[in-house]
Amino acid sequence: MLSILFPSLLNGVATGAIYALIALGLTLIYGVLHIVNFAHGAALMVALYGVYFLFTAWHVDPYLALPIMIVAMFCFGYGLQRFVIGRASHGKDEYILLVTLGIAIILENLALALFRSDTHSIDTAYTLATVDVFGALIALPKLIAFFGALAVSSALLLLIGRTQLGRAIRAVAREKQGARVVGIDVEHIYAMSFGIGMACLGAAACFLLPAYYVNPLVGNGFVLIAFTIVVLGGMGSFAGALIGGLIVGVVESLGGLWLGESLGQIGIFVIFIAVLLFRPQGLFGQKGA
């Protein structure tokens, strides 16, 4: 088993990068709006279909689809928060929960009705290509996704840390009444944050599809893992989501190695529970966050 420890570790890191991409959007939404977004998986599915149809209908390479998907998913997210979630939730946690759940049901079944339940994957020149990293074969799409995750999280850090919009988002995240007093349009900032979160999913979908597949329920497999990462990294922390994603990827990989793929999943949840109990602010979150 020792001989495959290194490749397994490396693969865990690469898989974890994809998880991190999905978790980045979730952690932003959670950090600003303080809502548990049950529709995150369904939104990922929407983005994956977007990439898929761009590829099959217009032969747009998934990586070239990045700008299109980022803009499209941003608009989708902005509208969703501004006109549906914001209006229906009456600012109460339990209703936000129900609304995002309702949206997930709508999106998943709309996809089922429109595109049928078939699983689709795309076959590009690099789908099956691998890169030899010190004797370990790492799938090329995963390697690209790893750098994609680094790029997206850096971009987010810059956006939130260095721009006017970022300042407003941080103000709303910390104290929304105060932000309102100083003239920030809180509803707009909420919608912007949700939109940016969805845009991250758009990027994630471009990196994920070459290594995976899409069907109406594909997002469900990633929701729980994304929540785990968000908690692990600290809700609202981008660096936390990135490193949390990598940790979860590695734990899953090594857990699978020693406990079997099915039982190995337990490692993730045990870490999740331990972090919640002993360090609920997450590995990278601030105390009292």
Binding mask 37-76 for other proteins (x = CB under 8 A): ----------------------------------------
Residue 3 near other proteins by CB under 8 A: yes
> Do 139 and 10 meet the contact criterion of CB atoms below 8 Å apart?
no
Task: Give Cα 176 to chain centroid, integer Å.
Answer: 25
Q: What is the 3-state secondary structure (H, E, C) of 103-172?
A: HHHHHHHHHHHHHCCCCECCCCCCCCCEEEECCEEEEHHHHHHHHHHHHHHHHHHHHHHHCHHHHHHHHH
Size of the site for other proteins (CB under 8 A): 79
Of residues 71 through 90, those in contact with other proteins by CB under 8 A are 84, 87-90
Q: How far is the CB of 270 from other proteins (least distance, A)?
A: 7
Torsion of CA 24, 53, 211, 215, to 10 degrees: 80
Q: How far is the CB of 151 from other proteins (least distance, A)?
A: 21
Nearer to other proteins, 34 or 162 (CB): 34
| 14: its two tokens | 């690469």
Please list the alpha-helical segments (H only) found in the chain: 5-33, 40-58, 66-79, 86-89, 93-115, 140-162, 164-174, 176-181, 186-208, 220-233, 238-259, 261-264, 266-278
Determine the Cα–Cα distance for residues 284 and 289; give it in Å rounded to an integer: 11
Of residues 253 through 272, those in contact with other proteins by CB under 8 A are 253, 256-257, 260-263, 265-266, 269-270, 272
Place of tokens 């929540």: 227
The amino acid occupying position 49 is Y
Of residues 98 through 127, those in contact with other proteins by CB under 8 A are 98-99, 101-106, 108-113, 116-119, 121, 123, 127
Nearer to other proteins, 20 or 168 (CB): 20
Nearer to other proteins, 3 or 164 (CB): 3
Nearer to other proteins, 63 or 115 (CB): 115
Q: How far is the CB of 162 from other proteins (least distance, A)?
A: 29
Q: How far is the CB of 120 from other proteins (least distance, A)?
A: 8
Binding mask 133-162 for other proteins (x = CB under 8 A): ----x-x-----------------------
Nearer to other proteins, 9 or 157 (CB): 9
Of residues 174 through 193, those in contact with other proteins by CB under 8 A are none
Look at strands 130-133 and 136-139 and give their pairing: antiparallel
Task: Give Cα 38 to chain centroid, integer Å.
Answer: 12
Of residues 208 through 247, those in contact with other proteins by CB under 8 A are 212-213, 215-218, 220-222, 224-225, 227-228, 231, 235
Reduced to 3 states (helix: H, G, I; strand: E, B; else coil), residue 266 is helix
Site stretch for other proteins (CB under 8 A), options 55-63, 168-176, 182-190, 252-260: 252-260
Determine the Cα–Cα distance for residues 100 and 3; give it in Å rounded to an integer: 45
